[in-house]
Structure 1
Amino acid sequence: MPRNPRSSRASASACAGSAHAAQSALTAAETWFQRRGWQVFDFQREVWQAAQQGRSGLLHASTGSGKTYAVWFGALLHAQPSLGQPTQGATTNGLRVLWITPMRALAADTLRALQEPLPELLPHWQAGMRTGDTGSSERARQMKALPQVLVTTPESLSLLLSQADARQRFGKLDAVIVDEWHELMGNKRGVQVQLALARLRRWRPQMVVWGLSATLGNLEQSLQALLGPDQAAQGVLVRGQQRKRILIDTLLPPQPARFAWAGHLGLQMLPGVVAEIDSSNSTLVFTNTRSQAELWYQNLLEARPDWAGLIALHHGSLDREVREWVEQGLRDGRLKAVVCTSSLDLGVDFTPVERVLQIGSPRGVARLLQRAGRSGHAPGRVSRATLVPTNSLELVEAAAAQDAVAAGQVEQRPVPEAPLDVLVQHLVTIALGGGFRPDELFDEVRQAWSYRALREDQWQWALDFVVRGGQSLTAYPEYQRVQADAEGIYRVPQPAIATRHRLNIGTIVADASLHVQYLKGGRIGTIEEGFIARLRPGDRFLFGGRVLEFVRVHEMTAWVRRSSSGSGAVPRWQGGRMPLSSTLAHAVLDRLEQAAQARFDGPEMQAVEPLLALQHAWSALPTGQRLVVEALKSREGHHLFFYPFAGRLVHMGLASLLAWRLARQQAASFSIAVNDYGFELLGAQQAPLEQLAAHQAQTLFSDHDLLQDVLSSLNATELSQRRFREIARIAGLVSQGYPGQHKSARQLQASSALFFEVFRKHDANNLLLTQAQREVLEQELELARLRSTLAELRARTLTLVRLQRPTPFALPLMVERFREKLSTEKLADRVARMLRELESAADASAGKTAARRRP
């Protein structure tokens, strides 16, 4: 059929007009940048053009290099092709751009950045925020109509999806941005986002999805996890070419010890830290735990009382108003230093910050880069992080971290595979949000990367679990949460079930906490119930940078008063001990290989040379090619020290596994101590050391029957039951209660333990039980990494050394074991006595070496 020339001309004219509009919109965006004296980088323009074409993707670029405006303007260009033109904004009602942030603390800062260009480019658009901190009046306004731009969290997004009119609310959505995707993709919150995106894509197939990341090693997989199995092939991976200069250095201790253990330097580094803070206008002092942050803040104030009001404390347990005051003080440049934890890891823009100090090893390259990027947070500025070792061996980690950063080696983040507790929660959410037909929702769920291989039987089990409570809860109506109506659409029939579900949406599971509040005054923050339970009235503790006196607990609040005493116990929060990453561990072994060859390049290695030289003289240095095992007899029994350098989680599984395998050959029981560098097995009888000969070590480190051996070597039931508590909460079996009526940790534990036992006895095939066991292996014992570590150990040459005394590498493991059974005072006495003996032996050894060298 001949073509209609008039139709062809019209089509060509439309294409030309569309191209002209797109170019005009790009020009408007670039002009906005130019007015502020900013350069548009190539990677930003690449994102803009891809988004204009309707393509989704992932942007990976350095912190502070301009990522936010790269994807924000990309979203605007896609959603509003007439950007910056007088005719734009004619139809502006309804949500157009959704911005997902992993932390509520980031939401306000992000909102300010997104609002800045709107008055000039889209004056009819409004931007708002929806998080757990959003007030009731603002929530009420949003229930009537959402703004064109909404900044929210995964949990708040799921709450919006649970509204009956959710499809209408998201009916005009053009773009979704997922900020700090690397922080979400490796956990269940990321899975929650995947499921939400799958729902939104079904309603709005033409919407674009972009993720932001600064520190990821597995970029291709992260793109796939973000976009889903069907969309990933068309996705765009943009790497920021504007390489930001990051300077990593180390604050060297004045006298590095030849014998070191975790935290022993600690506050001995205080004078150096004070000097570093004094030399800069604004500094972030990162610690790895909230307890450590409390101690350092208190000691900094004691060292420099004149800094009162100029330094502050920031961590996740402090009250929101306190945290916001600190954050605003950083933005305004009013604060000289803030002692903080991971609560300030992510993308809040504190441009005035010049320096970052990291107390102790960051334990991972990605974490170090993330924290370094908090300084010099603007394109073209240098980011600087200074490592402050808390023991001499961390000097080796500091040198290794610099090597890894220079080589661009960053850890990968694994993506969870089909967590059924999250799926069960999602089913109830979607049943509330308009309902679902099972076949349609099954296809939709499989568009989320984590569920791409979800089997029909797994789906049917999850559906049955929410419809009738599974095999063992059919007699309890409260667990029959979803029912099919006359049209075959599954909905939540009971208002009480709907209310309880909405109050418990989310996958963040933490131990129950209590508010901390003055008897006469305001709220300070929250603290774990387990810590308060150990206190008696009159006991003192350090919290929020103050010494407080505990008065009583009433209605989920710990009431306190200020204490005149200058000391107190420091709360210990769960989850503070991060394991050494595989990437950093291999870099450490490379540095030890150099030391074994008498190469001590750089100030860190030169400072730690006396320790490493003594380890080499009394034993040997572990390397990537050599596994060192030390045997020592003492009054306590027979010690075996192994140094795989695989991180404390792997070492816990490895120690239990080897102890069990050794005991199979010769009846024995062992005490176990672990750290990030190795582990100790202590037994009453000498272990069959002949099994450690090269030809039998292969059997000891075999991965044959690994799963069964690991489960046999541990109290797998107790570990699974502890993990099941979290799964039960996410799956909606256990409710954390209603506002003002929160359940205690003991109540939640008892409830989840009851379900665990019921399922074990009456529903052994319950897939939540299977998931609990899998998560123990994958997350608590890092089974995959344990398997790869065993392969590495089989490839290494085993060097068995019989010791006369503990080596510099062995002492930290002995101290770890002492900590479990000795008070702080007794531990200090015990370690001091050992140190005197070891230092005397080291001096004698050095004297003999010097005498041999004299002509």
Structure 2
Amino acid sequence: YCFRNLERRDYDSVLDYLSGKYVELEQRNVYAKIWVDRERGLMGRRGKLARVLYSTNIGTIPDESYIKVKIGRQNIGKIDEGFLERLRKGDIFVLGGKTYRFLYAKGQTAQVAPSAGPPTVPSWFSEQLPLSFDLAMEIGRFRRLIEERLRNNEEREEILSFIHEYLYVDKNSANSIYEYMKEQYLYAKIPTDKKILVEFYRGFGRKRYIVFHTLFGRRVNDALSRAIAYVISRRERRDVMISLSDNGFYITAGERKIQALRALEDLKGMDLRGVLAKAIDNTEVLARRFRHCATRSLMILRFYKEHRKSVGMQQIGSKILLNFVKRLPGEFSILKEARREVLEDLMDIQHAEEIMDLIRRGGIKIETISTDVPSPFSLNLISQGYMDIMRMEDRMEFIIRMHQAILDRINKNAA
């Protein structure tokens, strides 16, 4: 049964909300939907409209629409609501070939300002599925096996044969994988399922990048990157920018130095779930997810007496409710569910906690390198924002030039 693991206190908390125990919510036009007699173990609908409200508003699929992007009153364009969830104040993104800095969102409108800086958020990949944690760990294991063979100086043909048999790929694919792995091995180190590589790179406008090669999938990396960034921002009193992918993430504060490794060390002694709950507290992602939960739980009515409430008005209403329920005593059930959705559905807090536990116990080692040219594994992650504002022919030229720079460094080190 889908609710077999639901704790009794959570069940009672939902009943408390539905039966109107939180009388303060009536100030926000949220009224009781049912009555509960705990002594006799009975419950039922309350009010003549309860059945109508339920049948016209119930549903698990939230209303979504595009977000208008404006500079003041001037319309710039539209972005997907899922893309807005990823944005934090100060993030720079590309829209219509130009870069804009995100300021804030209200309802279904995002206010931005023109920016001359490079994008910090790559293009939205819509419904592209993240790499699963289990598959990511298997890829990490494959990397480890390749690294062992390179370290043991096995012949090229032996490694190609292993790749062909292990992955069931043709000769051309096996050769591409071999060259990619070998260049990373010769230039830096290969991150694996038992080794996280932290790369300190300075370039692209003198910005300092701290790249965490964490091949655990985008959902786990989302959790880890937000937690580390939150620890940094709290300790150093500054905002940091994050960009992530399935293969890892980077943190940067422009030209300023940040103590990311120290933040990771501090995080070992913290409750990751608690840190992330604080990190998402004032974010767009929590506000949007709370709206979804509020409409499902009938806190916000999409339809009332033949009138339909727009998504924008739903969002404005949910933000007011969100700020209100945060002040309620205890942990309000709908807010708890919104946080759970962010941490467990959008992110992967469970496997992120497993990774942190492995780091604490030494099951995953942390190694560092410093580079003046991005390593082959980090090049795509670091350059993905810049690539969005390049023409296609410029992108190819850029990739070729950067690849040649890596080969030059390898040859220089070998000489």
Which one of the candidate residues 20, 36, 57 is aligned to 1:468?
20
Is 2:281 the counterpart of 1:716? yes
CA contact (8 A) 2:184 2:190 kept: yes
Aligned pairs for 1:622-637 (under 5 A) are 622-634=191-203, 635-637=205-207
Once the two structures are TM-superposed, the CA of residue 647 in structure 1 deviates from its matched residue by 1.4
Aligned to 1:640: 210
Is 2:296 the counterpart of 1:730? yes
Structure 1 465/661 Cα, relative in aligned 2: closer, same or farther at 3 Å? closer
Aligned to 1:835: 399
SS at match of 1:727: helix
Aligned pairs for 1:759-774 (under 5 A) are 759-762=325-328, 765-774=331-340
Once the two structures are TM-superposed, the CA of residue 833 in structure 1 deviates from its matched residue by 5.5
Instruction: Report the AA paired with residue 454 of structure 1.
Output: R
Is 2:313 the counterpart of 1:747? yes
Structure 1 450/506 Cα, relative in aligned 2: closer, same or farther at 3 Å? farther
CA contact (8 A) 2:133 2:216 kept: yes
Aligned to 1:167: none
Which one of the candidate residues 246, 250, 255 is aligned to 1:680?
250
Once the two structures are TM-superposed, the CA of residue 490 in structure 1 deviates from its matched residue by 3.8
Instruction: Report the AA paired with residue 136 of structure 2.
Output: A
What per-residue deviation string (whole Å, max 9, x for no partner) do you get for residues 214-254 of structure 1? xxxxxxxxxxx5xxxxxxxxxxxxxxxxxxxxxxxxxxxxx
Aligned to 2:62: 509
What per-residue deviation string (whole Å, max 9, x for no partner) do you get for residues 655-684 of structure 1? 232234456665654321100011111232
Instruction: Report the AA paired with residue 591 of structure 1.
Output: F
CA contact (8 A) 1:723 1:772 kept: yes
Aligned length: 344
CA contact (8 A) 1:759 1:769 kept: yes
Moved more, 831-840 or 728-737: 831-840
What per-residue deviation string (whole Å, max 9, x for no partner) do you get for residues 799-846 of structure 1? 211112012211111133447xxxx44475774554243133245457
Aligned to 1:450: 5
Once the two structures are TM-superposed, the CA of residue 504 in structure 1 deviates from its matched residue by 2.1
Which one of the candidate residues 41, 48, 53 is aligned to 1:500?
53
Instruction: Report the AA paired with residue 507 of structure 1.
Output: T
Once the two structures are TM-superposed, the CA of residue 761 in structure 1 deviates from its matched residue by 3.4
Aligned to 2:371: 803
Is 2:196 the counterpart of 1:659? no
What per-residue deviation string (whole Å, max 9, x for no partner) do you get for residues 269-299 of structure 1? xxxxxxxxxxxxxxxxxxxxxxxxxxxxxxx
Aligned to 1:42: none
Instruction: Report the AA paired with residue 583 of structure 1.
Output: D
CA contact (8 A) 1:627 1:793 kept: no
CA contact (8 A) 2:291 2:315 kept: yes
SS at match of 1:752: helix
Q: Distance in 1 between matches of 2:41 and 2:355?
A: 51
Q: Distance in 2 between matches of 1:701 and 1:460?
A: 34
Q: Distance in 2 between matches of 1:484 and 1:844?
A: 74
Aligned pairs for 1:207-222 (under 5 A) are none
Aligned to 1:270: none
Q: Distance in 2 between matches of 1:806 and 1:477?
A: 55
SS at match of 1:631: strand
CA contact (8 A) 1:461 1:470 kept: no
Once the two structures are TM-superposed, the CA of residue 587 in structure 1 deviates from its matched residue by 0.8
SS at match of 1:580: coil
What per-residue deviation string (whole Å, max 9, x for no partner) do you get for residues 160-196 of structure 1? xxxxxxxxxxxxxxxxxxxxxxxxxxxxxxxxxx4xx
Aligned to 2:44: 491
Aligned to 1:611: 180
Aligned pairs for 1:782-793 (under 5 A) are 782-793=348-359
Instruction: Report the AA paired with residue 617 of structure 1.
Output: L
Aligned pairs for 1:230-249 (under 5 A) are none
**What runs of 5+ residues in structure 2 fail to find an aligned partner?**
79-122, 151-158, 165-169
SS at match of 2:175: helix
CA contact (8 A) 1:644 1:793 kept: no
Instruction: Report the AA paired with residue 835 of structure 1.
Output: I
Q: Distance in 1 between matches of 2:337 and 2:394?
A: 43
Q: Distance in 2 between matches of 1:666 and 1:461?
A: 38
Structure 1 741/628 Cα, relative in aligned 2: closer, same or farther at 3 Å? same
Aligned to 2:145: 594
Instruction: Report the AA paired with residue 589 of structure 1.
Output: G
CA contact (8 A) 1:592 1:621 kept: yes
Aligned pairs for 1:19-34 (under 5 A) are none
Q: Distance in 2 between matches of 1:726 and 1:636?
A: 41
Q: Distance in 2 between matches of 1:672 and 1:573?
A: 15
Q: Which of structure 1's runs of 4+ aligned residues deviate more than 6 A?
A: 475-478, 531-534, 572-575, 846-849
Instruction: Report the AA paired with residue 753 of structure 1.
Output: K
Aligned to 2:219: 649
Which one of the candidate residues 459, 475, 481 is aligned to 2:33?
481
Q: Distance in 1 between matches of 2:235 and 2:322?
A: 34
How much identity, in percent, do the aligned residues show?
18
Q: Distance in 1 between matches of 2:395 and 2:251?
A: 19
Once the two structures are TM-superposed, the CA of residue 758 in structure 1 deviates from its matched residue by 2.5
Aligned to 1:208: none
Is 2:341 the counterpart of 1:775? yes
CA contact (8 A) 1:529 1:745 kept: no
Once the two structures are TM-superposed, the CA of residue 649 in structure 1 deviates from its matched residue by 2.1
What per-residue deviation string (whole Å, max 9, x for no partner) do you get for residues 532-552 of structure 1? 999x99x99xxxxxxxxxxxx
* Aligned-residue RMSD, C-alpha: 3.9
Instruction: Report the AA paired with residue 60 of structure 2.
Output: T
Structure 1 827/769 Cα, relative in aligned 2: closer, same or farther at 3 Å? farther
Query: Which has more radius of gyration?
Result: 1
Which one of the candidate residues 530, 534, 537 is aligned to 2:67?
530
Aligned to 2:154: none
Q: Distance in 1 between matches of 2:330 and 2:213?
A: 39
SS at match of 2:5: helix
Structure 1 802/484 Cα, relative in aligned 2: closer, same or farther at 3 Å? closer
Aligned to 1:164: none
Aligned pairs for 1:224-623 (under 5 A) are 448-451=3-6, 453-455=7-9, 458-468=10-20, 470-474=22-26, 479-483=31-35, 490-511=43-64, 528-530=65-67, 576-596=127-147, 597-598=149-150, 599-600=159-160, 601-602=163-164, 603=170, 604-623=173-192
Q: Distance in 2 between matches of 1:530 and 1:799?
A: 41
TM-score calculated relative to the size of structure 2: 0.70
SS at match of 1:468: coil
Once the two structures are TM-superposed, the CA of residue 460 in structure 1 deviates from its matched residue by 4.2
Q: Distance in 2 between matches of 1:508 and 1:808?
A: 41
CA contact (8 A) 2:28 2:321 kept: no
Q: Distance in 2 between matches of 1:686 and 1:757?
A: 34
